Structure 1
Amino acid sequence: MKRRAFLSMPAAAVLAGCSARHDIEGGFTGIDIARGHAWRDGALPAGAAPDAARRTRVVIAGGGVAGLAAARALRLSGVEDFVLLELEDTAGGNSRAGAVQGIACPLGAHYLPLPGDDAHEVQDLLEELGLRRRVSGRWEYDERQLCHSPQERLFFQGSWQDGLLPLQGVGAATLAQYRRFSRRVEALGREGLFTIPTLRTAVAPTLLELDAQSFEAWLGREGFSDPQLRWYLDYCCRDDYGAGLAHVSAWAGIHYFASRHGFHAPGDEDSVRDAVLTWPEGNAWLTRRLAQPLGDRLRTGHAVTRIAEQRSGVEVDAVDAASGRRLRWQAERCIVALPVFVAARVVEAPPERLRQAAAALRHAPWLVANIHLRAALADRPGAAPSWDNVIHGSRGLGYVDARHQALDPTPGPTVLSWYRPLGPSGWDGSDSRRLLLERPWTGWRDELLAELSVPHPDLAGLATRIDITRYGHAMAIPAPGLLATLGAPERVVAGRLAFAHADWSGYSIFEEAFTRGHLAGTA
């Protein structure tokens, strides 16, 4: 059967005759959706009389990367009297982890590119954690934590190839567009307008011009029509932003490359992608170390329902999910490290800038599935098994192998983490968030098995368990016009409230969230 015909078949037909799939255990895990919806639907009303009151100097609302960074900054500045309130049972936001059959695996973000000099707050954290040190005047990273080779491969035209840019069998016209796009990105990068974090760059006219149009429209105007180039750029946008090149701005599409490693066409001198830090549990390796020193100052399972600035301080109301008690925290100030759409709901009399940002921001739903395999997979011809393994033309983003970082090379049981962004609308045209919540676990199981069985026909027979984590609002989509709406990229402060979340950068990566949290904690 040809691959095109295989992909067009329903998942059930593809897997018919494979009785092993009925033996696969699993279900939904990782996020307490009912808890979040209880807050959304008004079951946790704001302003209700509290059962108890507490005092502290600073309240941090939200325990994702930004909130954890703010807590670290407070401690570094000598402020120990604070509390961090987090809705879920563990802190970390999109950088949390789990385990399947005893093997650690990510529930979300799974790597951190080596930060540039503009992200010096992140560099300081890595030094503090022993991930980098200065040797003979040069910085060296702990090689055990750098992604082991081979790093990435693409299943394309029936076999595996090194790297993710389609190369096998492409013609001269495709290669020419690769090279021309590389030169265009390099020229824009030389203008110094694409930095991480974004708050280190002013919103210049060039950026606003790119922000005003979709990446797809810009590519058309620039004459970049090659289908393989467009597939790769669409994949990159879905990977970083949760939506394809038709839905993100040209600023976001170019920022993906110009702010980091550039775009390297075949034959470029620097054609190797920059190194990344990664762990079997993904970026939870970092967030667990940020959370560990907090002790009982970290209050998980606490839903913030109201943040109100008073004449002499701030009141923050929260509900303890375990006991149902309503607590009111009185503090000098509050660091609001919540997604913008949540902050706009819980902050009383929200400032205009917050209201505008909440109205403009859209968030991409995501699904992360962790698949336990009782033995190593057989492989197709071509490039060797890699950490990141992508299937050309698929709806998912491929999978990463939790055992790739293991120092023992002996093949054995492992966990594959499969990533599936749903974008602004579902693949079948329905509302993507509703699809995420209403589709049964077995539907997602069958989709991922059908997709990954293209390069791995033995996968369904080796899988023993699949745990699926759903994120209704995983990350902000940098849609056209968002950069202009968010305005000046500097820290966002309103009275006694400091806002810290990657949403304020227009997209979600560790460096943006961490830097904004750190600056809010030092304000």
Structure 2
Amino acid sequence: MRRREWLAAAAALPAYGCAPALAPVEGGFAGPSPERGHLLRATRVGAPSQVRRARLVIAGGGIAGLAAARALRLAGVDDFVLLELEDESGGNSRAGRLAGLDCPLGAHYLPVPGDGAHHVQDLLEEMGLRRRISGRWTYDERHLCHSPQERLYFRGEWQEGLLPAHGIGAPTQAQYVKFARLVDRASREARYSMPAGTTTAPAHLALDAIPFAEWLGREGLDDEHLLWYLDYCCRDDYGAGIAAVSAWAGLHYFASRHGFHPPGEEGERDAVLTWPQGNAYLARGLAAPLGARLHASRVVTRIEAVRGGMQVDAVDPLSGVAERWDALHVVVALPVFVAARVLASPPYFVMQAARATRHAPWVVANLQIREPLRDRPGAAPSWDNVPYGSAGLGYVDAGHQRLDPRPAPTVLTWYLAPGESARAQLLSAPWTHWRDLAAAELAAPHPDLPGKLQRVLVARYGHAMATPVPGTRARLRAVPLHGRAMSFAHSDWAGYSVFEEAFTLGHEAGVAAARAVGARVPARLT
């Protein structure tokens, strides 16, 4: 939507929902630097001023790169470096700070991992987040999302949960039940897991071939409330709606985790781990042991196989100083379109993936609220709060995990997946554009928000995450990610971006790299 359309929509709200004029608000951009990333295509880098050596180089410090570094450490390989574009590693799992409160600049939670994500389970055990008590695995209650967890602003009031439920009528309820049965059927036909791994089941590949919206139409699912909810879920996890993502992705969202439970039927959502700073809690925990091996503010410009090993060129965007690293092996933990650009001789599968992978842009705005907001009737304030029918994805309350239950000033983190056509706007629009969109959307459930807004930090991600469009699983199922001189690790190789996928791919690349340089990898890492 254009800014004037959003403001017109806000002006058209009923009188009780009209937003007062914005108070003077400070703010600006935070998070990843588009200018720094674009140096790769805009700058001609000169000869390196210094040549350095390491046994291994990891290019990219997102969750996959950090997971690869952890695997190398655990395999006893210490002679490696990690080159990170930004000033802080973490990729989409970085954090900011407003009013003395940490807040996420991207990913903000991790579902309690199932047995398929055993490498993630090991990480959580290592970080003290889970432990075995009386023979059962338990998670530290301080890090599990506090109740109430989520609510939906629907028909003028808040309801518990995000599936529209109040006054929906029998036809809507019947379609909810039908979709639940279809999710169960799909799970029985071919197991869904997180991480997904290599999909070869014929049932999965058939669903991967068509859009989710087309599959829903074939099954006679056309209720507006169900379709809104499914579209919201896909936008939330994949950055694109039911018309863009594959039917495999739409079903995987439910079948790999908590299923789908219509109102009134038994079933619990999976518990989630969350922190005020979001998944930066995990990213910083992964980065802390690296010390001097982590080299931030490095734009990787070239990766090339040479006699005796690999060469990696990088430039410091602040000083302009270029450096070269000689290594035996490189873990390429970069988005596929970046890998295709920096590899001197990219393999065919990298070029194919770069051409075929679609990336969703994202906007994350952190809004500092100077005093507690008034609330609409219904369910109590929750961690995740979503207005029905909104273009955005709602907000999470960065103060929700506080132990003091009294209302207090806080930071609300608002998410928007504006679609691929908005990528250019991310670069051209001022930060106030995104502030106004967030304030207009949230003024419906919180009409006093614009008057209580103090400061806004806006993070922009031009290529935030791969979108699992039809054909993604078929294209990626036989990709050779690990070779003698290079290993590839990034959530792009899963076709969608979640922590479990990025971490597992990074861990596996780290193990493969350790073996490639002759390290003895402990069995527990495999």
What is the distance in 1 between the residues matched to 2:506 and 2:196? 14
Q: Deviations over 1:420-466 (max 9, x none)?
A: 00123xxxxxx310122112222211111110000000001111001
2:18–2:447 CA contact under 8 A, matched in 1: no
Aligned with 2:304 (options 295, 305, 308) = 308
Which residue of 2 is the match for residue 348 of structure 1?
Answer: 344
Aligned with 1:249 (options 231, 236, 246) = 246
Which residue of 1 is the match for residue 522 of structure 2?
Answer: none
TM-score (norm 1): 0.94
Matched, 1:517 2:506: yes
Aligned-residue CA RMSD in angstroms? 1.6
Which residue of 2 is the match for residue 3 of structure 1?
Answer: none
1:192 is displaced (CA, Å) by: 3.9
Which residue of 2 is the match for residue 9 of structure 1?
Answer: 8
Which residue of 2 is the match for residue 79 of structure 1?
Answer: 77
Which residue of 1 is the match for residue 485 of structure 2?
Answer: 496
Task: Call closer, same or farther: CA 1:385–1:211 in 2, change over 3 Å.
Answer: same
1:52–1:327 CA contact under 8 A, matched in 2: yes
Q: Deviations over 1:126-184 (max 9, x none)?
A: 00000000011100000010000000000000000000000111110100110110011
What is the distance in 1 between the residues matched to 2:353 and 2:217? 29
What is the distance in 2 between the residues matched to 1:121 and 1:55? 30
What is the distance in 2 between the residues matched to 1:191 and 1:54? 53
Which residue of 2 is the match for residue 330 of structure 1?
Answer: 326
Which residue of 2 is the match for residue 18 of structure 1?
Answer: 20
1:193 is displaced (CA, Å) by: 3.0
1:373–1:463 CA contact under 8 A, matched in 2: yes
Aligned with 1:265 (options 259, 262, 265) = 262
Matched, 1:459 2:449: yes
What is the distance in 1 between the residues matched to 2:176 and 2:316? 54
Task: Call closer, same or farther: CA 1:17–1:511 in 2, change over 3 Å.
Answer: closer
Which residue of 2 is the match for residue 30 of structure 1?
Answer: 31
Note the residue ranges of structure 2 that are not aligned, 5 or more in a row: 513-526
1:16 is displaced (CA, Å) by: 8.7
SS at match of 1:247: coil
1:190 is displaced (CA, Å) by: 2.1
Q: What is the 5 A alignment of 1:130-209?
A: 130-199=128-197, 201-209=198-206
Q: What is the 5 A alignment of 1:219-258?
A: 219-258=216-255
Aligned with 2:385 (options 379, 386, 389) = 389
Which residue of 1 is the match for residue 524 of structure 2?
Answer: none
What is the distance in 1 between the residues matched to 2:408 and 2:139? 28
Q: What is the 5 A alignment of 1:264-283?
A: 264-270=261-267, 272-283=268-279
What is the distance in 1 between the residues matched to 2:32 and 2:44? 18
Instruction: Tell me which amino acid in the other structure corresponds to 1:382.
Output: G
1:44–1:305 CA contact under 8 A, matched in 2: no
1:267 is displaced (CA, Å) by: 2.4
Task: Call closer, same or farther: CA 1:7–1:378 in 2, change over 3 Å.
Answer: same
Task: Call closer, same or farther: CA 1:8–1:102 in 2, change over 3 Å.
Answer: closer
Q: Deviations over 1:216-247 (max 9, x none)?
A: 00000011111100000000000000000000
Which residue of 1 is the match for residue 430 of structure 2?
Answer: 440
Which residue of 1 is the match for residue 359 of structure 2?
Answer: 363
SS at match of 2:277: coil
1:13 is displaced (CA, Å) by: 7.8
What is the distance in 2 between the residues matched to 1:475 and 1:351? 22
1:154–1:391 CA contact under 8 A, matched in 2: yes
1:193–1:207 CA contact under 8 A, matched in 2: no
1:155–1:161 CA contact under 8 A, matched in 2: yes
SS at match of 1:367: strand
Instruction: Tell me which amino acid in the other structure corresponds to 2:48.
Output: P
2:303–2:343 CA contact under 8 A, matched in 1: yes
Which residue of 2 is the match for residue 212 of structure 1?
Answer: 209
2:335–2:490 CA contact under 8 A, matched in 1: yes
What is the distance in 2 between the residues matched to 1:7 and 1:467? 20
2:366–2:412 CA contact under 8 A, matched in 1: yes
Instruction: Tell me which amino acid in the other structure corresponds to 1:464.
Output: Q
Which residue of 1 is the match for residue 405 of structure 2?
Answer: 409
What is the distance in 1 between the residues matched to 2:269 and 2:19? 41
What is the distance in 2 between the residues matched to 1:268 and 1:494? 49
2:371–2:410 CA contact under 8 A, matched in 1: yes
SS at match of 1:90: coil
Matched, 1:90 2:79: no
SS at match of 2:466: strand
What is the distance in 2 between the residues matched to 1:66 and 1:12? 44
Which residue of 2 is the match for residue 379 of structure 1?
Answer: 375
2:297–2:317 CA contact under 8 A, matched in 1: yes
2:64–2:503 CA contact under 8 A, matched in 1: yes
Which residue of 2 is the match for residue 285 of structure 1?
Answer: 281
Instruction: Tell me which amino acid in the other structure corresponds to 1:126.
Output: L
Matched, 1:479 2:469: yes
What is the distance in 1 between the residues matched to 2:10 and 2:458? 17
1:11–1:446 CA contact under 8 A, matched in 2: no
1:11–1:447 CA contact under 8 A, matched in 2: no
Q: Deviations over 1:373-406 (max 9, x none)?
A: 1111110000000000000000000000011000
What is the distance in 1 between the residues matched to 2:289 and 2:327? 21
SS at match of 2:252: helix
What is the distance in 2 between the residues matched to 1:392 and 1:384? 16
1:182–1:263 CA contact under 8 A, matched in 2: yes
What is the distance in 1 between the residues matched to 2:388 and 2:44? 45
Matched, 1:339 2:335: yes
Instruction: Tell me which amino acid in the other structure corresponds to 1:509.
Output: V
1:9 is displaced (CA, Å) by: 2.3
What is the distance in 1 between the residues matched to 2:509 and 2:122? 16
Which residue of 2 is the match for residue 427 of structure 1?
Answer: none
TM-score (norm 2): 0.94
